[in-house]
């Protein structure tokens, strides 16, 4: 297989127990049923001299670009995974939503549940008996009737930011085929994992930022428009 990406050139952080890569939008974490390139194809090159392949600690949707944490040994994987489960990781996403958001900032709290059908596949929906989810958000800029929003999810539910944009802000992410905003200019769902911070005992924190990808520029937005 000819690989389209060189992930060794996209390393944002590296030490003896962790790697953070700037995952390209469109690259799945696990191999799709239909085949094709995935993160799994790059894990051997990301050993960088270590005996073991690194393992992803958390998931990003295939379309989502940005900071992805990998652990370089099983003990680190266990500790980092527990930190995510205990909500001790600060996560920062940038998303372009398909509408002009009037408010400057707020917090979205929605219980989410998974539904599926033979026709439409699966998706997450707000549901009274679902799992609680919380996201803080801040409007950064409005350009061409679309809004660049910073999302800081507290919980880590599947598709949380995507559903919170559509149901909480009232506007789905641009390019999101599941929650309602396909756009011919969007090569993907316009969501970017812009940063994460994970505190460690006895070691400096893992604190990483990823720049706004170039495909956001097609919509005239930059991170410093606010």
Positions annotated as catalytic residues are 61
At 219 the three-state DSSP class reads helix
**What are the beta bridge partners of residue 209?**
195
**What are the beta bridge partners of residue 92?**
195
CA separation (Å) from 7 to 12, 19, 48, 63, 76? 10, 11, 11, 16, 21
The whole-angstrom separation of Cα 176 and Cα 187 is 10
Residue 212: closest CA among 62, 96, 46: 96
The whole-angstrom separation of Cα 83 and Cα 71 is 13
CA separation (Å) from 26 to 167, 189, 205, 220? 24, 9, 28, 21
């Amino acid at each position: 297989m000819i690989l389209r990406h060189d992930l060794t050139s996209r390393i944002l952080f590296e030490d003896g127990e962790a790697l953070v890569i700037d995952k390209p939008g469109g690259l799945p974490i696990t191999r799709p049923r239909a085949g094709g390139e995935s993160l799994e194809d790059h894990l051997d090159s990301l050993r960088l001299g270590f005996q073991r392949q690194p393992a992803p600690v958390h998931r990003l949707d295939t379309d989502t670009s940005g900071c992805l944490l990998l652990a370089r040994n099983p003990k680190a994987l266990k500790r980092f995974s527990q930190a995510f489960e205990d909500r001790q990781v600060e996560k920062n996403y940038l998303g372009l939503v398909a509408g002009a958001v009037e408010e400057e900032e707020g917090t979205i709290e929605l219980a989410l549940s998974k539904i599926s059908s033979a026709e439409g596949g699966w998706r997450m929906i707000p549901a009274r008996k679902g799992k609680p989810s919380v996201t803080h958000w801040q409007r950064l800029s409005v350009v061409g009737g679309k809004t660049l929003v910073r999302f800081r999810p507290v919980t880590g539910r599947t598709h949380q930011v995507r559903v919170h944009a559509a149901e909480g802000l009232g506007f789905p992410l641009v390019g999101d085929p599941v929650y309602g905003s396909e756009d011919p200019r969007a090569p993907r769902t316009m969501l970017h994992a812009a940063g994460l911070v994970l505190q460690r005992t006895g070691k400096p924190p893992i604190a990483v930022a990823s720049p706004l990808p170039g495909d956001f520029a097609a919509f005239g937005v930059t991170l410093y428009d606010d």
